[in-house]
């Protein structure tokens, strides 16, 4: 039997390009944070995550974070129901 609550961590690496052909790179960011999975019953579950930007690079701009192309924090909430 699977546990009804699982707590973990996740890492996201995102890149931003100015063109659809991926020819003009403008920056990237790394996010890290906790996540949780809760099984409500055999047909429903909820996941939630909070990530904060820990590293990045904006092309041509000094500074610690790329806040032009990415947000400083990300929050995700997902509810699923199987029918």
pLDDT of 33-70, one tens digit each?
999 999 998 899 999 999 998 877 666 666 666 777 78
pLDDT at 55: 77
Q: How far apart are CA 83 and CA 81, in angstroms?
A: 7
Q: Spell out the residues 6+ positions from residue 11 whose beta carbon is closer than 8 angstroms to its own.
A: 30, 31, 32
pTM: 0.74
pLDDT at 79: 96
- Residue 31: is its pLDDT beyond 90? yes
Best CA proximity match to 2, nearest among 40, 29, 30: 40
pLDDT at 39: 93
pLDDT at 16: 85
């Amino acid at each position: 039997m699977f546990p009804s609550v699982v707590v973990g961590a996740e890492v996201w690496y995102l890149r931003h390009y100015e063109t659809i052909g991926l020819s003009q790179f403008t920056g990237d960011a790394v996010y890290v944070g906790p996540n949780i999975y809760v099984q409500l019953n055999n047909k429903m579950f909820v996941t939630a995550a909070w990530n904060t930007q820990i590293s990045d690079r904006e092309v041509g701009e000094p500074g610690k974070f790329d806040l032009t192309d990415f947000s400083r924090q990300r929050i995700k909430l997902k509810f699923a129901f199987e029918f």
